[in-house]
Structure 1
């Protein structure tokens, strides 16, 4: 009878190991992947005219126009190609954008 009483506590150990395995997989694989995906989406949404970018195919170009779904790149003088936003791998050089503030004109009578 002593052997039967000790066997009940040991049955939770395999279940605990499986749960621990899933927790480790979440923090080591799934969570970092979600973070990289969010950063890529943020970078792709912040692309603007004049930025130098690299596509996932390794093509360097300068952004000439941006649409909701596409980006026009100038890859050589006078040569423009159209790419989907997700095809942009990274921004090489970001152009500082200065928001134009309308100057107030002093009205002198």
Structure 2
């Protein structure tokens, strides 16, 4: 008889209520970890896609240089007057000065 009484008093949403903490944890993880990482990846890919000749860049190793040549996968940087170095495009970390910005300042 006690099982029937417990079943009669049980909420029809009982099984749904047990999944609410799991759903909330997933939502928190999505908005705190996954979404910001997707935004950073999108901005980095856009920056790598917009690289142009004469942009001043910094590589992931901390090397500063100016882009002399650029292809789909390779970037040739001028480090000083006598030194040219070849890197993968993905090795560029940041653009310090874009060639478009440099031309506007002139």
Tell me which interval the TM-score lies in, with the shorter structure as reference length: 0.7 to 0.9
Task: Give the TM-score normalised by the residue count of structure 1.
Answer: 0.79
For residues 30-50 of structure 1, the C-alpha deviation after alignment (integer angstroms, 9 at most, x for no partner) is: 111111101101101111111
In the alignment, structure 1 residue 39 sits paired with structure 2 residue 43: yes
Q: How big is the alpha-carbon RMSD for the aligned residues of Structure 1 and Structure 2?
A: 1.8
The residue number in structure 1 matching 2:72 is 68
Query: Which residue, 8, 15, 19 being the options, matches 2:23?
Result: 19
The CA deviation string for residues 75-96 of structure 1, in whole angstroms up to 9 with x for no partner, is 1211011111111000001111
The runs of 4+ residues in structure 1 deviating greater than 6 Å are none
* Equivalent in the alignment of 1:95: 99
Separation of aligned partners in 2, 1:29 and 1:61: 33
Provide Cα deviations, 1:3-39, integer angstroms capped at 9, x if missing partner: 4423664443231110111111111111111111011
How many pairs does the alignment contain?
Answer: 98
In the alignment, structure 1 segments of 5+ residues that lack a partner are 99-109
